[in-house]
Amino acid sequence: MAEVIQNSSISASSELGAPDGCMPKPTVRRNGNHHPNLWSDDFLQSLSSPYGDSSYYERREMLINEICDIFSNGEEQFSLLERISFVDVVQRLGIDRHFQEEIKMALDYIHKYWSHNAIGDLNITALGFRILRLNRYDVSSDVFLKFKGEGGQFRGFASGHEDAKLESMLNLYKASELDFPDENILTEARFFASAYLQEAVKECGEIKEKKNPLLMEIEYVLKYPSRCRVPRWEAWNFIQIFRQQNHNDSLVNSIYKMPSTYSQKLLELAILDFNILQAQHQSELKSVSTWWKHSTVTHLDFFRHRHMEFYFWWACSLFEPEFSASRIGFTKLATSLSLLDDIYDTYGTIDELKPFTKTLIRWDVSTIENHPDFMRTAFEFAYQIHKEIASEAETKHGPVVHKYIQSCWKSFISAYMQEAEWIAYDYTPGFDEYIMNGAISSGMRVLMVHSLLVMNTPLSDEILERLDIPSSKLQALVSVTTRLVDDIKDFEDEQARGETASSIECYMKDNRGSTREDALNNITNRIESCARELNREFLKPSDMPDCCKNLYFNAGMRGVFFLFKDVDGITFSQRKEIRDAITKILVEPIVPWNEI
């Protein structure tokens, strides 16, 4: 499916016209009836954190040095499992950027051992496989074949109590989530481990009551699969689990094979680092809030006011201090695309949209007076953001950026217009026609390209070309996946607004006699296939800068799966689970490690 997007011209003409044989519906100005902004400017401006003070930075630096010394001084004595555990813990706590040299040493040792020696039991194998694959070492899933018995059972548990078996199944399940296409052994492992873990949770009753950190983690990974675990959400949740484990010295030693003094330093550092970054994110949010308050579109109530939610999306995924410009730029751009989306999908009429499309594609300032007031306001708002991002991108990468910006912008607006034509003429396209256009109208190409261009990482023209369509399979996969995930969460609401073209309806058109359930099952399978392809594209060794691949995987894939896990978390951000997640990541600091 991604190849269809890669190989298409994706520069659809703005002269689209009516589908053959279709007559326009009566002109009606529709409204999405979206809930208002939930996060007032007064609230965002009131955010305050003590963790911006230099004393916290100094304590963080001291802890980093102490942990580096522990690892360096005892490096020769660390066992294979201790090295694997070290990498696992610091990455899941979200502090791995401070230990890149130590992690590289540990991974090289593990990979050398992996290649030339026996691997050990199922638990060590599963943990090692996940850590190596996640860090782009070339490891084969065939290593699990020797643990598979008759009837689909997996064996090879370490001897010990039930927790040891649970730990093995947990690590097998997490390893299986990094599957590539056609890795049937990992599919079988996931089904087996998932069933085992679900039964264990059921038997143990209420997890939170028992305060068993191993069961807490099982509940967490079953609720949030790997594809949903954006880095900041993973860090917040694992800090809670790791804190609980640190209340029991023997538990920390048995699960993570490290002394409690070592684990306590890691925990203190993780909490401190999380809160320091949160303080920076709050400062950026205040800047975004000020920008929004003084913007010209706050009075337009027909579109979704979601600047807080958009910032949350990127801060969860691209959280590091050096990506401030990308977070703020994304928030502004996504807000402008949300406005245009609601104009094209609901509020604008087809007669208004046709000339508006030409103006937008050309950024033709001379024609804006010919449009209704709301369109003039939307154009000026989007144009100002476009100029700001383009100027910053040119400063960082040179004038070559303009061809990428203009190409993705033209195809994006044309795709919006195509969908508006379908709505106006009550036309349902075939599935392939729909998905080729829908992948572009998802907006992910525009958002990804613009985010890349304002990163501090120098990107050559050759790298930029490989990161964009038609060269980039990552870009194509993220775009297709976003469209399909959005459709299965939004199709009922979109139908109520008169939008008949969705992947569900288009599949049913192509497959006469199929039911909505058939369509949902088929599209869910397509999403699963795309997710496996994304795993391979992200995790295979390459010379692409890590920050670029991380953007597509963490913000593109994981961000979408996280925000659309149950519903469209942008459109319906009033849901308690979304509001609570925003509060945890951006509003409330984590209580210091020694205060509970």
Strand partners of residue 154: 148
Q: What pLDDT, on a 0 to 100 scale, did the predictor assign at position 10?
A: 43
Give 591's DSSP letter.
P
At residue 154, the 3 state secondary structure works out as strand
336-393: per-residue pLDDT in tens? Answer: 999 999 999 999 999 999 999 999 999 999 999 999 999 999 999 999 999 999 999 9
- Is residue 293 a contact partner of residue 285, using CB atoms and an 8 Å limit? no
Q: What pLDDT, on a 0 to 100 scale, did the predictor assign at position 9?
A: 42
Residues 505 and 500: their CA atoms lie apart, in Å, by 7
At residue 131, the 3 state secondary structure works out as helix
Buried b (16+ CB within 10 A) or exposed e, 378-410: bbebbbebbeebbebbeeebeeebeebbebbbb
Domain ranges of the chain: 2-15+281-294+303-587, 55-274
Q: How many CA atoms within 13 Å lie on the side-chain side of 110?
A: 32
Q: What pLDDT, on a 0 to 100 scale, did the predictor assign at position 25?
A: 61
Residues 546 and 133: their CA atoms lie apart, in Å, by 14
Domain 55-274 CATH assignment equals 3.30.70.120? no
pLDDT averaged per 10 residues in sequence order, the chain, 596 residues: 54 52 64 90 97 98 94 75 92 97 94 76 93 95 89 73 87 98 96 95 67 89 97 98 78 62 92 99 98 97 97 98 96 98 95 98 96 98 97 93 95 97 93 97 96 90 86 93 93 64 93 95 97 96 90 96 95 96 98 78
Q: What pLDDT, on a 0 to 100 scale, did the predictor assign at position 596?
A: 61
Which of these, 297, 303, 465, 320, lies nearest to 384 by C-alpha position? Answer: 297
- Is residue 585 a contact partner of residue 278, using CB atoms and an 8 Å limit? yes
Residue position matching structure tokens 């509970």: 596
For 71, the token pair is 């690892």
Number of H helices, E strands in the chain: 27, 0
- Is residue 293 a contact partner of residue 41, using CB atoms and an 8 Å limit? yes
Q: What pLDDT, on a 0 to 100 scale, did the predictor assign at position 114?
A: 87
- Is residue 222 a contact partner of residue 197, using CB atoms and an 8 Å limit? yes
User: Cis before residue 592, ω within 30 degrees of 0?
Assistant: no
At residue 259, the 3 state secondary structure works out as coil
CATH number corresponding to 2-15+281-294+303-587: 1.10.600.10
Cα–Cα distances in Å, from 409 out to 308, 384, 416?
A: 24, 14, 11
Q: What pLDDT, on a 0 to 100 scale, did the predictor assign at position 577?
A: 96
Q: What pLDDT, on a 0 to 100 scale, did the predictor assign at position 12?
A: 41
Q: What pLDDT, on a 0 to 100 scale, did the predictor assign at position 120?
A: 81
* DSSP E strand stretches across 234-319: none
Neighbours of 71 (CB within 10 A): 21
Which of these, 51, 11, 5, lies nearest to 590 by C-alpha position? Answer: 51
Neighbours of 480 (CB within 10 A): 28
Q: What pLDDT, on a 0 to 100 scale, did the predictor assign at position 254?
A: 56
Q: What pLDDT, on a 0 to 100 scale, did the predictor assign at position 275?
A: 99
Which of these, 150, 145, 146, 196, lies nearest to 169 by C-alpha position? Answer: 196
> Nearest 5°: phi and psi at 148?
-90, 125
